[in-house]
Amino acid sequence: MGLVVYALLLGIAIYIFGIDHTAAGLAWFLMIVFFFFFLRHLSFAISAARWVHHDLYAADVEFIGFTPSVAVLIACKNEELVIDKLLQALLALEYPEELVNFIIVDDGSLDATGAKLDAWALVDPRITVIHRALNSPGGKSGALNAALELVETDFICVFDADHEPARDVLTHLTRHFLDDRVDCVMGRCIIRNGGESQLAGVVFVDFLSGYLVNEYGRQALFELPAYGGANCAVRTSTLRALGGWNVETVTEDTDLTIRVILAGGRVRYDPTAVDYEEAVIVARRFWRQRYRWARGHQKCTRDYMVPALRNKNLSLSERSEFLMFLLVYHIPVLSGLGVVLTVARLFGVGSIPAVALLPLTLLLFLGPLAELTAGLSIGRVERRAAWHLLGFLPSFALSIVTTTWAYFDGMLGRPYSWVKTPRSASVSAPPKTSIINPPVHARRQSDLDEQTVEGAMIASTGLVIRSRGGKRSNTVGTKSFARSIERETE
């Protein structure tokens, strides 16, 4: 319907003003939009260049009186390559053992993820595993909502399976909840496999500026950082009040950010709460990942644009920033429109000064380039990384195609569900010799014999088997036990 309206408006404009003047009008519109986004990027780059260095260098104030209980939630689907590394990192977190527990959802994995998780649950009683049936609805949001039902703590931290949190990450994330107006906290994700391919190197620089500059700038200048899908924390009561993660979206993080902010809550970003994640290393996976982000973000824009503009919790400048944040994944679509106008001018269509000026909008890309430059400078990355910036030209061209594709798919209402990004795990592979044993060998056989399966429960989304470390009747994995019950149920 939206597309039909746009097409009608365009047709009317061409009919009334002629094609040249309509093209000129569009060109002016694009240049104004690009100019405001240029200002936005430049201001983020300046704020980061001014202050991030001092933030990273500043003394940490660990307030001893505030150490809340935390549930760490992870949704896993076919993560056998990375799950051991994640669990090792989680169990090594520097946080009082009695105040943290881990709820891990095996979302219908077809590989050994479930069995591995069950083995880990035997090693540490703080680990609870939920097995969701294959093709359970809701994707990552559905899995996290299943875990949310078991949460008994005040705060929730979320990681993805390919992440490797730094040891102090929980302390850094939760310290912001000392302020009871804060509902979500976002940490900083860093690419750990930038050397695996040229694309991974480009993604590394992208993340560097995305977190050290863009996210930082949003907080420094507007207090409106975004809650990401991993390495982040959320207040349990707020999340429950909001109805949990939205299963209707494929970017549950953006969706939650918007709902929290529109409801008057606050999101904080802490660049010192660090975890390391894996970048996609091939163009196909990059396409799939960015397509999902674009599709989800554009849906959020359609859903929340009007409520955001009407929201009284935000001042005018904050609303402007919020609007620009919502439109981020529409800018490449508009860039694509600019390219179409420029090419049309080659063929003599719309050949008037306004359109002739469009190539100058390339200069407006100095904004994103300024962000990337600031990221590299703050990160004190070696000088050869400068040539990675060349990779942004093809990646930007690709993003024009991806987001435009996602835009039309979304507007046409084509069905789309949550798609998991496959892992490469080459950096995440276990080291040749580890001081910490893998879970199966970490306990003696006699220890395993003392443990029994605690129980099973059927959830509305399908069969869910819950295994909790501690008691178990034999050493057979709960995954196979789950399957046997599944067969019986059928």
Partner 1 sequence: MSRLDSASSEAQRSPRDLRSTRRGTRTRRRSVLLEILVLVIVYLSVFELLIDPMRRFETSAIAWFFSLVGSNSVTVAHNDSLLIVSSGHQPMLTFISPSCSSLMGLLALATLAAAVMRRRRATTVLAYLVSASVLFILNLGRMIASAAAGVWFGSGAMLLFHDWVGTVWNFIATLFGFLLLQFLTSPPSERAEQDRFGRHTARRPESWSRPGLGYRARTHRRVRARSDSLLRWFIRHTLPMSIRERMARAREANRIDYRLGFLNVEQRCSAIEGLTESGLEAHCASLLAIATYETDPSVLETLSKAVERSTSPALSWRSAALHVWARGWQMGSKRAIDEMKWEPEVQRLLTRSCHHRRGEEALLDELSDPRQSLAARAELLRRVCDEGLAFHCRSLVGFVASLREEELIEEMLTCIAMRQWEPVSTSGVAALRLWARAMLLAREATEEMSASNAPREPGPLPQAREQRLEEDEEYPGGIGRGGPFIVGVTGAGGPAGISVVRALLDAGHRVLALDADPHAGGFKVHGADWAVVPRFDDPQYGQAMIDQITSHSLQALICTVAEEYRALATIAAQLTALGCKTWLPDLDAVDRCIDKARFARVMENHDIAHPPTSARLRGLRRVPGPWIVKPRRGRGSRGVMASNSLREVRSLMRNNPDLVVQSRLEGDEFTADVLIDRNGQMMTCVPRWRLATRGGISVHGLTFDSPEVTRTCAEVIAAIGLTGAANIQGMVDDQGEVSVIEVNARFSGGLPLTLAAGADVVGAFLQAILEPERRIAPLYFSPGVRMTRVFNEFIERAP
Burial tier of 360 (Cβ tally within 10 Å: 0-12, 13-18, 19+): exposed
Stretch that binds partner 1, among 58-66, 71-79, 404-412, 455-463 (CB under 8 A): 58-66
Burial tier of 64 (Cβ tally within 10 Å: 0-12, 13-18, 19+): exposed
User: What is the smallest separation between the CB atom of 489 and partner 1, expressed in angstroms?
Assistant: 32
Report how far apart, in Å, the C-alpha atoms of 63 and of each of 172, 179, 257 are. 11, 12, 26
Sheet holding 182-191, edge to edge: 164-165, 266-277, 182-191, 232-235, 155-160, 70-76, 100-107, 127-132, 462-468, 455-459
Q: Is the CB of 49 or the CB of 130 nearer to partner 1? A: 49
Stretch that binds partner 1, among 2-10, 52-60, 101-109, 400-408 (CB under 8 A): 52-60
Structure tokens, 286: 């990059």
Phi-psi region of 465 (alpha: psi -120 to 50; beta: other; left: phi over 0): beta
By CB under 8 A, is residue 269 in contact with partner 1? yes
Residues near 94 by beta carbon (within 8 Å), at least 6 away in sequence: 167, 168, 170, 171
Q: Is the CB of 190 or the CB of 333 nearer to partner 1? A: 190
By CB under 8 A, is residue 32 in contact with partner 1? no
Q: What is the dihedral of CA 213, 217, 223, 226, to 10 degrees?
A: -40
Q: Pattern 138-177, binding to partner 1, x per CB under 8 A?
A: ----------------------------x--------xx-
Q: Is the CB of 22 or the CB of 219 nearer to partner 1? A: 219
Q: Is the CB of 441 or the CB of 487 nearer to partner 1? A: 441
Stretch that binds partner 1, among 201-209, 293-301, 406-414, 452-460 (CB under 8 A): 201-209
Q: Is the CB of 7 or the CB of 362 nearer to partner 1? A: 362
Q: Is the CB of 284 or the CB of 312 nearer to partner 1? A: 312
Among 1, 4, 16, 61, binds partner 1 (CB under 8 A): 61
Q: Is the CB of 342 or the CB of 421 nearer to partner 1? A: 342
Q: Is the CB of 125 or the CB of 405 nearer to partner 1? A: 125
Per CB under 8 A, contacts with partner 1 among 64-93 are: 64, 66
User: What is the smallest separation between the CB atom of 379 and partner 1, expressed in angstroms?
Assistant: 6
Per CB under 8 A, contacts with partner 1 among 400-459 are: 427, 431-435, 437, 444
Residues near 19 by beta carbon (within 8 Å), at least 6 away in sequence: 349, 350
Q: Is 155 helix (H, G, I), strand (E, B) or coil?
A: strand
By CB under 8 A, is residue 347 in contact with partner 1? no
By CB under 8 A, is residue 179 in contact with partner 1? yes
Stretch that binds partner 1, among 136-144, 381-389, 413-421, 468-476 (CB under 8 A): 381-389
Structure tokens, 47: 């704020």
What H or E segment, with its residue span, contains residue 383?
A: none
* Cβ pair 209, 215 in contact under 8 A: no
Burial tier of 66 (Cβ tally within 10 Å: 0-12, 13-18, 19+): exposed
User: What is the smallest separation between the CB atom of 408 and partner 1, expressed in angstroms?
Assistant: 24
* Distance (Å, whole) CA 73 – CA 141: 11
Residue 14 is which amino acid?
A: I
N-terminal to C-terminal alpha carbon distance within the chain: 43
By CB under 8 A, is residue 42 in contact with partner 1? yes
User: What is the smallest separation between the CB atom of 480 and partner 1, expressed in angstroms?
Assistant: 26
Per CB under 8 A, contacts with partner 1 among 224-253 are: 238, 241-243, 246
Per CB under 8 A, contacts with partner 1 among 110-139 are: none
Q: Where are the alpha helices (DSSP H) in 58-67?
A: none
Name the nearest CA neighbour of 365 among 402, 400, 398, 393. 393
Structure tokens, 190: 């860093």
Count of residues that bind partner 1 according to CB under 8 A: 102
Stretch that binds partner 1, among 18-26, 106-114, 153-161, 300-308 (CB under 8 A): 300-308
By CB under 8 A, is residue 317 in contact with partner 1? yes
Q: Is the CB of 301 or the CB of 467 nearer to partner 1? A: 301
By CB under 8 A, is residue 55 in contact with partner 1? yes
By CB under 8 A, is residue 381 in contact with partner 1? yes
The CB density around residue 44, as the number of other CB atoms within 10 Å, is 26
Among 376, 400, 406, 482, binds partner 1 (CB under 8 A): 376
